[in-house]
Amino acid sequence: MFYKGKDSVKAKFATHTREPVKKIIIGHDVWIGQYALIKQGITVGTGAVIGMGSVVTKDVKPYTLVAGSPAKIIKKRFDDKTILGLLKSEWWNFSEKQLHKLGEFFNSPGAFLENIRK
Out of 4, 12, 16, 72, the active site residue is: 16
- Read off φ and ψ for residue 66, nearest 5 degrees: -125, 155
DSSP, collapsed to helix, strand or coil, labels residue 79 as: coil
Q: 28 an active-site residue?
A: no
φ and ψ at residue 104, rounded to 5 degrees? -65, -15
Could you tell me which of 101, 92, 95 has the C-alpha nearest to residue 27?
92
Catalytic residues, by residue number, are: 16
